[in-house]
A and B are shown apart, each in its own frame.
Chain A
């Protein structure tokens, strides 16, 4: 096993060992638990699984839990090692600093994708487990979707969107972690302002949030979910034009954020100054 593979596996194990990953598990399980609560208290005869599944997977797991866990891990991807003074072991071996960054980013992205993917599967199971086929036909009364629904297809769309979203958010928050001396507060401010508020307002500016390309991907796979956004028809057409995936934009954001992070990790000492001076 070469140094890159060793660093990758080390980071995967390290991510799974960290205390904060328990928070990730807990957050990923929250929407699943909420669906279970809905099912317990909802009369079984009236229960329609489409809405709880979509709302919990998209609005809770993908748009809230996922960015939060990416903030938790991205802002500390390198700086936690620097603060613990263990970064010195990774950078006095035969790997470039940028390689250390990219390998660690990839390893954390894989772990988060698996955990959040499991969360999506959990929501799916909690939503559709034991549901009669007749209940999978969504009636028109919610004016959002009507007709037969294929839960498997929607789960697949989310499982495809999760790694893309993790890649984007993790790269962005890794960059903030390296560029700022207060990464956590800056990342949270960005998340609340741009992702939670602007990204959900019925205005054209929502396209500037990172959740927009993720949603565009989802809309491409599941056109019916547009109705959940409750956008005016003109705006919906402008924001989610037909036959666009926004994948190149998202990958571009990932590439730029990782490139800038690699530059920062290469030029910055990342050693607490008080230590360097004895």
Chain B
């Protein structure tokens, strides 16, 4: 069963559209939800976690409606975006309270709390009041409360915001570990390369609509109207460029740097097939051949620009 299913889901705030007729399925593993501010990411997460009502359509989380449904909520761990805490509480009490509200009792609470604090690297700071935490610590304690009751689905709204690269790396490792253990994760982020490093399953959202979904590289290849860019690092970029410009499948070449050649093409597979032969014939040294615009950032830029 899919973790989350949306069928024709719309959400209006008065006359403003938050989500517009979204139909998609979010399955197992990690799914990255990306989009600019105001795209509708938090609206989607609010609907999935039962914080918002649907204006239209149906939304099912593990086959059931999410709004005010403890059967769904007990399987859900939610890390909200904002700095929302009872600041006077210590981290340990905060996570402990939410563990108990999540249904854990007795010794299982202490065990689960310590486990969640260890996983998020917050064990040594957990005795301190949350109001004294740094941004990174706040993000980690929010993550700890989200996973303390061992949910099946983690919904993480911008968990990397305000964290330094070390914390981001640690959190990414943790999320991959949880996904390997069978936890479904829906994560939104502005930091596209972090999402890209976490998963290739992407849901791109813009102006309340899903503009692309699925495997990132598949999405890129389906964008026929956008020529692909291939980057070739070589000691003789101009010599190669002269040959490549004559190829029918090549739409343009450029040499942005002394050792870099960018080849634009609408048929990247054919270019990849023919390039080795050209390189051997010309006896040039090549250090790298790679797609220059298959990154999440590039794809997202194309989609939102169009």
Contacts and interface: CB of A to CB of B under 8 A. Distances in A.
Interface string B140-158: 0000010001000000000
B241 interface: no
B73 interface: yes
Interface in B21-69: 37-43, 46, 49-53, 68
A84 B89 CA distance: 15
Contact of A93 (B74, B80, B82, B105): B74
B98 A278 contact: no
Contacts of B42: 275-278
A95 B46 contact: no
Interface string B64-88: 0000101001101010111011101
A3 interface: yes
Contact of A10 (B13, B70, B97): B97
B148 to A, nearest CB: 11
Given A276-B13, A277-B18, A85 B80 contact: yes
Nearest to B97: A10
B87 to A, nearest CB: 9
A94 B51 contact: no
Given A3-B103, A95-B101, A97-B68, A275 B53 contact: no
A180 interface: no
B86 A86 contact: yes
B16 interface: yes
A276 B140 CA distance: 22
Contacts of A6: 97, 100-101
A124 to B, nearest CB: 34
B51 A276 contact: yes
A232 interface: no
Nearest to B146: A92
A242 B84 CA distance: 54
Contacts of A182: none
Interface stretch (A34-42, A155-163, A183-191, A265-273): A265-273
A1 B106 CA distance: 7
A20 to B, nearest CB: 14
Contacts of B39: 278
The 9 closest A-B pairs by CB, nearest first: A6-B100, A85-B84, A93-B101, A94-B74, A94-B70, A92-B78, A278-B42, A3-B101, A94-B103
B162 to A, nearest CB: 16
A83 to B, nearest CB: 10
A95 to B, nearest CB: 7
Interface residues of A, number: 29
A271 B106 CA distance: 32
A89 B101 contact: yes
B102 A93 contact: yes
Given A86-B84, A276-B43, A92 B49 contact: yes
A7 B149 CA distance: 16
Interface in A94-112: 94-97
Contacts of B41: 278
A92 B51 contact: yes
B16 A277 contact: yes
Given A6-B97, A275-B42, A278-B38, A17 B88 contact: yes
B52 A3 contact: no
A90 B49 CA distance: 12
Interface in A140-184: none
Contacts of B105: 1-2
A2 B108 CA distance: 12
Interface centre among B38, B53, B98 (most CB of A within 10 A): B98
A94 B103 CA distance: 7
Given A3-B103, A92-B78, A96-B68, A277 B43 contact: yes
A84 B83 CA distance: 9
Contacts of A10: 97
